[in-house]
């Protein structure tokens, strides 16, 4: 008798739970969509590999079925996906009011619970100002020569090799430069390899968050643990032996930490360091590799880019004198090309937020507490926003604002949380391309295919043979 009653209760409980899973509570009309399998939701579909530049099939199919806003469930959370320009705009502009930066637990585990993306209000503004100081225009002006020097010597080194895997090579190049700026890290002088801990990071980060040995996510967490131990001991070392002349970000952080009234804590400082190291090299190296791939596939674009950079050299008294800030700022076509590259690359395939209260938009209500994912690829590859969206056409930017974000351009996010590294990335890309197209030609010798899961990857790398141009080399079409 009791057994029957207990079974009935369990069945009723599970049925009710299933009913709630498929029909979540809402004080209004939920956006249409499906919550998928219990617990798993539609996670597996979301992570299914896609070998094209185009909007992920997961998103495309649902836009067709449900329209530009739909609901789903990813990694155990109910999520509203927005591909609607107006809603995206509200999401970015209403940061801290209606929405708040939020990333799935898997991200927070990897980046740290106190990383800049998870902080809000005063603490967030304080950190952002600190980062802007480091990557703002005055610091970048001072960095220009170093960025050019590093690009030039690396290209020279790669040209002496049979071939180079460009994604990894540029990632190393940028990592070393950023680590030097942030913590005066010199791989030649250190007994441990800091960079090694960041390997396979992007695959792990935007993959299924299963923390068991063998998975990309597990490797990613291991890497974080080791990198954090190294960063902590470097900070300790510096604290024990402070330097006379303060010159890097560690010095700056230590000064802040030592000030009695500072709101900064050591944990926040270390999480920030970790995020900056990761964000700076992984994103920019992907963007450079995508640009080099697209340039090779579009000789007319390569020609226009080469002309812009050769004319900088032609107009200079001494071609060897190095780039000036004025020359850098004059690279109009290059900046168009960078925007076009990041529009197609969609390096950040989803920007996450949490609804702070019930939010009414058009006929729908997004319930308080739900996650919201802005989907940049769906905006950047929508033919209503960009004619022939899969075409690599830097000239389309001639008529568009190129600096900040807009309703139709959010490769670097938007609103208050617009990427603090945008100018740094543009500097690295423009200077690297300058050094590449003025002195070298290259050909693909292996790999080069892309896949999105939904993070962008080159599964077989991007292997190129780089050769110095000679005097007969005036036509980049060859
Ligand atoms: C092609 C290169 C890059 C792309 C496509 C990119 C993209 C983005 C996007 C879309 C966001 C917004 C995230 C959000 O709103 O939740 C963001 C934020 C951020 N980016 Fe970048 N980024 C790039 C390079 C960099 C670099 C070089 C750095 C480091 C210097 C960096 C550091 C950051 C940080 C710290 C944030 C968080 C800011 C916040 O929460 O307010 N990014 N980035």
Q: What is the pLDDT of residues 380-395, one digit of tens each?
A: 999 999 999 999 999 9
419 is annotated as contributing to ligand binding: yes
Domain that includes residue 99, residue range = 28-468
| Confidence category of residue 175, pLDDT binned at 50, 70, 90 | very high
Mean pLDDT of 157-178: 96
- Residue 165 is predicted with a pLDDT of 98
Cα of 455 from ligand 1 centre, angstroms: 14
Cα of 333 from ligand 1 centre, angstroms: 23
Share of the chain above pLDDT 90, in %: 57
Mean per-residue pLDDT of the chain:
90
- Residue 133 is predicted with a pLDDT of 81
Cα of 419 from ligand 1 centre, angstroms: 4
Query: Does the pLDDT of residue 474 top 60, yes or no?
Result: no
Q: Domain for residue 286, yes or no?
A: yes
Cα of 461 from ligand 1 centre, angstroms: 23
Q: Domain for residue 3, yes or no?
A: no
Q: Domain for residue 476, yes or no?
A: no
| Confidence category of residue 475, pLDDT binned at 50, 70, 90 | low
Q: Domain for residue 58, yes or no?
A: yes
163-167, 267-271, 375-379, 409-413, range with the lowest pLDDT: 267-271
Query: And the tokens for 476?
Result: 């980049």
pTM metric for this prediction: 0.93
Query: Does the pLDDT of residue 362 top 70, yes or no?
Result: yes
Q: Domain for residue 94, yes or no?
A: yes
CB-defined site of ligand 1, < 6 Å: 101, 116-117, 128, 131, 135, 275-276, 279-280, 283-284, 287, 342, 347-348, 351, 411-413, 417, 419-421, 424-425
- Residue 203 is predicted with a pLDDT of 64
- Residue 23 is predicted with a pLDDT of 83
| Confidence category of residue 477, pLDDT binned at 50, 70, 90 | very low
Q: What is the pLDDT of residues 81-129, one digit of tens each?
A: 999 999 999 999 999 999 999 887 777 888 888 887 777 888 888 888 8
Residue to mutate, 167, 279, 339, ligand 1, most ligand atoms under 8 Å from C-beta: 279
Mean pLDDT of 45-68: 94
Q: Which residue has the higher pLDDT, 239 or 326?
A: 326
Cα of 319 from ligand 1 centre, angstroms: 34
Q: Domain for residue 474, yes or no?
A: no
Q: Domain for residue 216, yes or no?
A: yes
What CATH number has the domain bearing residue 359?
A: 1.10.630.10
Per the structure, how many domains does the chain have?
Answer: 1
Atom of ligand 1 nearest to the CA of 416: 41
Q: What is the pLDDT of residues 428-437, one digit of tens each?
A: 999 999 999 9
Q: Domain for residue 194, yes or no?
A: yes
């Amino acid at each position: 008798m009791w057994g029957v009653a207990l079974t009935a209760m369990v069945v009723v409980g599970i049925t009710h739970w299933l009913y709630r899973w498929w029909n979540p509570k809402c004080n209004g009309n939920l956006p249409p969509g499906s919550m998928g399998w219990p617990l798993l939701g539609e996670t597996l579909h979301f992570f299914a590999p896609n070998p094209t530049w185009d909007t992920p099939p997961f998103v495309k199919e649902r836009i067709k079925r449900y329209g530009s806003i739909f609901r789903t469930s990813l990694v155990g959370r109910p999520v509203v996906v927005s591909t609607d320009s107006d809603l995206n705009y509200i999401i970015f502009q209403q940061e801290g009011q209606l929405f708040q930066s939020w990333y799935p637990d898997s991200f927070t585990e990897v980046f740290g619970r106190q990383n800049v993306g998870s902080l809000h209000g005063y603490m967030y503004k304080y950190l952002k100002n600190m980062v802007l100081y480091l990557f703002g225009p005055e610091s970048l002006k001072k960095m220009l020569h170093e960025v050019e020097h590093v690009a030039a010597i690396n290209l020279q080194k790669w040209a002496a090799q049979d071939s180079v895997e460009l994604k990894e090579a540029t990632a190393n190049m940028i990592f070393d430069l950023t680590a030097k700026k942030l913590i005066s890290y010199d791989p030649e002088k250190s007994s441990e390899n800091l960079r090694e801990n960041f390997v396979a990071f992007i695959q792990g980060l935007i993959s299924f968050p299963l923390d068991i040995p063998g998975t990309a996510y597990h490797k990613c967490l291991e890497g974080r643990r080791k990198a954090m131990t190294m960063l902590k001991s470097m900070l300790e070392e510096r604290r024990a032996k402070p330097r006379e002349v303060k010159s890097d970000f560690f010095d700056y952080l230590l000064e802040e930490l030592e000030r009695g009234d500072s709101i900064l804590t050591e944990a926040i400082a270390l999480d920030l360091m970790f995020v900056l190291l990761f964000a700076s090299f992984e994103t920019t190296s992907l963007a450079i590799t995508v640009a080099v791939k697209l340039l090779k596939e579009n000789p007319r674009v390569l020609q226009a880019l080469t002309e812009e950079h050769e004319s900088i050299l032609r107009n200079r008294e001494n071609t060897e004198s190095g780039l000036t800030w004025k020359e850098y700022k004059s690279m109009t076509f290059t900046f168009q090309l960078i925007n076009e590259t990041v529009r197609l690359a969609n390096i950040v395939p989803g920007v996450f937020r949490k609804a702070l209260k019930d939010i009414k938009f058009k006929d729908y209500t997004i319930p308080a507490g739900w996650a919201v994912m802005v989907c940049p690829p769906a905006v950047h590859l929508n033919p209503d926003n960009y004619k022939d969206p899969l075409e690599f056409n830097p000239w389309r930017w001639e008529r568009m604002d190129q600096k900040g974000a807009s309703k139709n351009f959010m490769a670097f996010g938007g609103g208050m949380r617009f990427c603090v590294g945008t100018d740094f990335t543009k500097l690295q890309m423009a200077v690297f391309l300058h050094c590449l197209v003025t002195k070298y030609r290259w050909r693909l010798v292996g790999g080069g295919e892309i896949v999105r899961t939904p993070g962008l990857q080159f599964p077989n790398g991007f292997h190129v043979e780089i050769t110095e141009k000679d005097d007969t080399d005036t036509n980049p079409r060859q």
